[in-house]
Chain A
Amino acid sequence: MAKVLVVTSGKGGVGKTTSTAALGAALAQMGQSVVVVDFDVGLRNLDLVMGAERRVVYDFVNVIQGEAKLAQALIRDKRIETLSLLPASQTRDKDALSEEGVARVMDELREKFDWVICDSPAGIERGASLAMRHADVAVVVTNPEVSSVRDSDRIIGLLDSKTLRAERGERMEKHLLLTRYDRLRAERGDMLKTEDVLEILSIPLLGIVPESQDVLRASNIGQPVTVSGPDTAAGRAYADAARRLKGDPVPMTIPGEKTGFLGRLFGRRAA
């Protein structure tokens, strides 16, 4: 049975699209069949982060409006055979996604894939509610920073009330993915720690992704970080998170170096 997963956050710029690409690629690298779906109509970027921007012919809106078949709009990844992308439209606005249309496409995707990963737009409006509407599982992407944590709290409230699962009175599975984590600054007391964020949001932790130049490098070259840097700290963090989503028990690690006395001293001075 397919699982529909929404990657959401409320706040923009915390790493939803990067995380969608990396988690989708990681699950596909484990042999699962995966489709990543861009819900950010008008501001699509998942195609760019996945390196498929020049291969978009038809998009999500075309499929909903009957101008193309789903199979025509799906883009098969060139590196990982079991990974596909359904791009958003760049020229329409978010009202082009109808509730019935999205439901129909989601049903069709559920039949074809093991995982349907929906990349939510920022905000709490129509695009974001449609992206979470059909989800069985939610990954809440949060930065250890006050505005991101506050927005995540709001999104968790919406996941528990506005999704189909919530309306049917079923449990909505939610996971926290902490991104752009800087262990040094957290240890110094200048960044919220994992425990702080977990205590405030009280949902289980899926993974901790370090702030890293490898993530920027990956998007520069249009590859999910699990593909461009499987041995980097960020690549490993996403691969571990994907394994946990699949249900494999993987011990949690806090990425980043523990600092010695000199490191702490110089780390402070550099800040």
Chain B
Amino acid sequence: MTIFNLFRRKASAPVARERLQVLLAHERASIGRTDLVAVLREEILAVIAKHVTLDPEHLRVRMERGEQMSTLEVEVDIPSTARVRLALTG
């Protein structure tokens, strides 16, 4: 190593710090997102189950994250044999 390399060598710690900040911001968001979908799924299922007997397998909740907008996709299959509980009104 020559004396010139000594002064030219860039410190690596700031690079490590920046890489970690970017990575962890992303990882924290995506782990949080997984939880959000699970929570939404449970609650949606509970609401539907109040009115229709539903196999939890027939409910799919997906979230897709875009740059400008995220979409939440909820897909429910209600078999024609499902028992529908009529909401009591008035």
Contacts and interface: CB of A to CB of B under 8 A. Distances in A.
A186 interface: yes
Interface residues of B, number: 17
Contact of A189 (B11, B19, B28, B31): B11
Given A157-B28, A157-B31, A149 B1 contact: no
B11 A188 contact: yes
Contacts of B24: 150, 153, 200
Contact of B20 (A154, A188, A200): A200
A157 B30 CA distance: 12
Contacts of A190: 11-13
B6 interface: yes
Interface in B1-46: 1, 6, 11-14, 16-17, 19-21, 23-24, 27-28, 31, 35
A18 B70 CA distance: 46
A192 B17 contact: yes
A189 B14 contact: yes
Interface string A167-182: 0000000000000000
Contacts of B28: 153, 157
A192 B13 contact: yes
20 contacts: A145-B16, A149-B20, A150-B20, A150-B24, A153-B28, A161-B35, A186-B13, A189-B12, A189-B14, A190-B11, A190-B12, A192-B13, A192-B16, A192-B17, A193-B13, A196-B13, A196-B16, A200-B17, A200-B21, A200-B24
Given A200-B21, A200-B24, 16 more contacts: A145-B16, A146-B16, A146-B19, A149-B20, A150-B20, A153-B24, A153-B28, A157-B28, A161-B35, A188-B11, A189-B14, A190-B12, A190-B13, A191-B13, A192-B16, A269-B6
Interface of B: 1, 6, 11-14, 16-17, 19-21, 23-24, 27-28, 31, 35
Instruction: Describe B's contact surface by its main secondary structure.
Output: helix
A104 interface: no
Contacts of A145: 16
Interface residues of A, number: 19
Given A150-B24, A157-B28, A269-B6, A196 B12 contact: no
A268 interface: yes
A237 B39 CA distance: 43
A269 B5 CA distance: 10
A142 to B, nearest CB: 12
Contacts of A186: 13
Contact of A268 (B6, B27, B35): B6
